[in-house]
Amino acid sequence: MFTTAVKNKNILQVGMGSARRLSSITKFDTKKFVQSLQQNGGFNAQQAETAVNIVNKAINDGIYSITRNLVTKETLSSTAYEQKVDFAKLKGELQTMDKSEFNNLKKEQEQLKTDLTNLKNRIKEEITKNQAGVRLDLNLEKGRIREENSTHESKIEDTYTRIDEEIANMQMQIKQVKTQVMQWLIGVSSGTFALLLAFIRFFG
C-alpha cells in the first residue's frame, strides 16, 4: 500500500508538472485579447478583462484535467518494472507454496502408505493368531474325540471279553451239568440193570 501511495504521488506530481508546461505552451496574450474584445466585441475594459480571465481559467482547468492522468515514459517504465518485480515475487511465493503443498501431500501419502502397511501387518498377525487358535482347538477336539473313541473301544472290548467269559462259563457249566446228568444216568442205568439181574435170578 505504501508503494502504491508513492506511485500515485509521483504520478500526480508528474501530471501537475505536465499541466504547467502545457499551460505555458498554450498561454495566449491576454492583453491583446482584451483589446480585441474592446475594439471588435463592444466590451468595455472591465468586461473584456473578466471574459479573458474566465476563458483563460477554463483553458487552464481543461489542460490540467487532461494532463492530470498523464505520466512520463520514465515513470511508466518504473511502474512496469515494479509491477514485474512484484509479479515475479508473487510467482515465486506461489511456486514456494505449491512446492510446500506438494511436499505436504507427499508426506501425507507416505504416512498413509505406512499406516496401511502397518494395518495390513496387524490384520495378517490377527488372522495368523486366529488360525493358530482354530488349529489348536481342532487338534484338542480331535484328541478328545480320539480319547473318547479309545475309551469306547476299550469299553466295547471289555464288554466283548465279559461276554466271552460268560459264554465260556456257561459252556463249562453246561458241560458240568452234562457230566453230572451222564453220571446220574449211568448210575440209574447200572442200578436198574442190577435190579433187573437180581429180579431175573430171583424168579429164574
Percent of the chain, pLDDT > 90?
Answer: 3
CA dist 12 and 70 (Å) reads 9
**Quick check: is 14 in a domain?**
yes
Report pLDDT digits (tens) over 34-91.
Answer: 777 778 777 787 887 888 788 888 887 777 777 766 666 777 788 788 888 888 888 7
Residue 22 pLDDT more than 60? no
User: CA separation (Å) from 27 to 18, 35, 176?
Assistant: 14, 17, 171
pLDDT at 37: 77
Residue 117 within a domain:
no
Residue whose C-alpha cell is 477336539:
141
Q: Is the pLDDT of residue 175 over 80?
A: yes
**Mean of the per-residue pLDDT values for the chain?**
76
Kindly state whether residue 58 falls inside one of the protein's structural domains: yes
pLDDT at 70: 66
Q: What is the pLDDT of residue 69?
A: 66
Cα distance between residue 40 and residue 153, in whole Å: 153
Say what the pLDDT of residue 59 is: 81
Closest CA to 53 of 43, 66, 67: 43
In a domain, 154, yes or no: no
Euclidean distance between CA atoms 188 and 48, whole angstroms? 197
- Residue at 35 is within a domain: yes
Which residue stretches of the chain are H helix? 2-26, 30-40, 45-67, 73-203
Pull the grid cell for residue 120: 495390513
Helices 2-26, 45-67: crossing angle, 10 deg rounding: 140
Per the structure, the complete domain to which residue 91 belongs is given by 2-107
Hey, what's the torsion of the CAs at 92, 98, 100, 101, to 10 degrees?
160
Q: Is residue 41 part of a domain?
A: yes
Is residue 199 scored above 80 in pLDDT?
no
Specify the number of domains making up the chain: 1
- Tell me whether residue 166 is in a domain: no
- Of 29-38, 149-158, 171-180, least confident by mean pLDDT is 29-38
**pTM (predicted TM-score):** 0.31
142 belongs to a structural domain? no
Between residues 178 and 20, the one the model is more confident about: 178
Quick one: average pLDDT of 191-201? 77
